[in-house]
Amino acid sequence: MRRLAIARAGEQNDVGGGPIAGTAERMTHKTGAPARFTVLSPPLSKSLSPLSEPGALFSRAPAHHRSHTERIYFMRPAHFALLLLLITENAKAPDPSRSSHLPAHASIAIVGAGPSGLSAATRLLELGYHDVTIFEASQRVGGRVHPVPFEDGYLQLGAEFINGHKNPIYDMAESLGLLERVQEDYDMIDTAHFETGDCPLDETHIERFYGFADPLKEKYRVLASPMGGNRTDSVRSLFEADYPKFIEEQQLAPKRHIYDALASLHESYFEGEWAANWDDLSIRNFYQWDNLDEGPQTREHVMNRHGYKAILKHITSKIPRPLIRYNSRVTLVDYSDKGVTLTLQSGEKTRKFDAVIVTVPLGHLKRFSKTMFKPKLPSYKQEAIDKLGFGALGKIWLVYDQPFWNDQIHSFITLPVDGCSKNPLHTGKIWLVYDQPFWNDQIHSFITLPVDGCSKNPLPTDSLYKTFESLNWNKNVLLGWLSGEGPYTVDAMNDQEVKTSVTSLFRRMFQNSSIPEPKDVKRAKWTKNPLFGGAYSYITVEAANAGIDYSHMAEPIFVDGKPTVLFAGEATHNRIFQCVIGAWLSGRREANRIHGSYDHNDN
């Protein structure tokens, strides 16, 4: 799963994923005259590498400035030297001999100390900016990267994996000795042990279903491409057209209840992968998202017990501690009078800054953007915030004294099947802590699959829990993944309710009434935290139909010809949204945008 994972575009392209020069209408020469440049013809624009498009210095005009068939690119003259610098110096720190030309006096505020905020800060420091302040609302850095200590390691309450090897975070993890193993997108399901209660599940059922389901993502990706007609359908609408045909063609009506359960599992996988309800998830996501690795399959690198904790420590070692102000939630960004002044939740008003990079999650903007900026955001920006989606993925850790599962099984799936369980319940990640495992310690993961009629006394929460896997560095801990409505429902439950509901499910699915309750539950409750409001962003059907994508989120607000209010974060990267990679690269993109807006002598 592509959980806020990291990939590298190559440092010379690490500012990609959103417009950097802005539209030509907003660019001015020093004389004040508008500068309008179309520097790439459409044929030439197609020759840009994927890493350059939309590119660091070339920017596609947002949808509100172009027709559906137009592709216009602009280049700011002041950026030409920066382009050469990025190519020849691989976006490293500038030559010290040029330091006298850098605007070290410029003051830059950064709102948020997640990956994009930390990335922007480190890049600005590399470029010679010294007056940089990060305002972090919480008491920690990382944002949705949230490792917490547990015994001799860290539970990753947020981002967990590294997607692919072509990225700077993979390089960090490798150099720090964090990498442990590699898994593919469907490994958790392909290698899982299914628990279906009283209902037997034949391996041929699984193979036949996934023989049908596996190719659908690529089919839908093609439909969303220009070749397929740029379709914007929801995933559910297409699946519900394809699935009955599969049942009919394969003459599976007598076993329909089993395949319906597998279809529900497939739905939960997609809703977890994209943090979106199938009804709202546009197939445009499949076409637009790109992890920069070869091939359609996503390879996820699993880290050891330290994981992102070690990576955050490595990154923050490059930022002087006084530059980060903790417990400093920004409630107002005032750019009404040359420069930017911030108001904090405490009532404090900051000094004036030359520019601000806003890196808060889209979920936070959805709730507060209409009161957070003065003047109000441009209408196209507010529309993008309103129409793009921000969904939830949940994780729960269940801690036991010892495993109740076979320790040769890495994951298991609880699969309710109609006719095999009565009155099933509909219930992120949850970590359950047990004194010892009740599962076979040869099992790494398992799937609890309640089949209607196959399990007694089902609970409404049964369908909330699907896939569980044992923690790779602590066999007494199960990690459960929640998708769809699961994160919202479980986040509203107290720990005892979680323990009761999951234990009831396990006892029925494993047909073992002696399975104990976990002794502890670990989780983050992302949907309940106003600083986040969920997990990550996605393209809704409404946004796709309106021609809205992440370039609208990345567009800065210009004041007197200079980018003054800038935006970074995973929801501002047009290709690697949802991921730490998008967040990381977007922060560097905005730092470079600020740097490019100054008139350097060597330009």
- Distance from C-alpha of 205 to C-alpha of 265, rounded to nearest angstrom: 13
Q: Is residue 446 domain-resident?
A: yes
Closest of 26, 64, 58, 21 to residue 41, by C-alpha: 58
Q: Is residue 311 domain-resident?
A: no
| Percentage helix, strand, coil for the chain under 3-state DSSP, each rounded to 5 | 35, 25, 40
**pLDDT > 60? residue 109:** yes
Q: Is residue 355 domain-resident?
A: no
Using one digit for the tens of pLDDT, what is the confidence trace for 485-497?
889 999 999 999 9
CATH number at residue 195: 3.90.660.10
Q: Are 406 and 469 in contact (CB under 8 A)?
A: no
pTM of the model: 0.78
**pLDDT > 60? residue 370:** yes
Q: Is residue 312 domain-resident?
A: no
Number of domains, the chain: 1
Closest of 331, 301, 319, 314 to residue 111, by C-alpha: 331
- Distance from C-alpha of 211 to C-alpha of 206, rounded to nearest angstrom: 8
Read off the tokens for 372. 């957070």
Q: Is residue 374 domain-resident?
A: no
Q: Is residue 480 domain-resident?
A: yes
Q: Are 339 and 91 in contact (CB under 8 A)?
A: no
Using one digit for the tens of pLDDT, what is the confidence trace for 51-92?
333 333 333 334 333 333 333 333 343 343 444 334 333 434
Read off the tokens for 370. 């209409």
Least confident of 4-13, 90-99, 217-226: 4-13
Closest of 480, 308, 481, 284 to residue 388, by C-alpha: 284
Q: Is residue 588 domain-resident?
A: no
Q: Are 14 and 587 in contact (CB under 8 A)?
A: no
Report cis status (omega within 30 of 0) of the bond before 487: no
Least confident of 65-79, 162-176, 428-442, 485-499: 65-79
**pLDDT > 60? residue 108:** yes
**Residue 460 belongs to what domain range?**
186-297+393-532
Sign of CA pseudo-dihedral 53, 58, 63, 68? negative
CB atoms within 10 A of CB 478: 33
Q: Is residue 258 domain-resident?
A: yes
Average of per-residue pLDDT values in the chain = 78
Q: How many residues does the chain have?
A: 603
Read off the tokens for 213. 């389901």
Closest of 167, 140, 201, 150 to residue 6, by C-alpha: 167
**pLDDT > 70? residue 569:** yes
Residue 406 phi, psi dihedral angles, 5° rounding: -70, 125
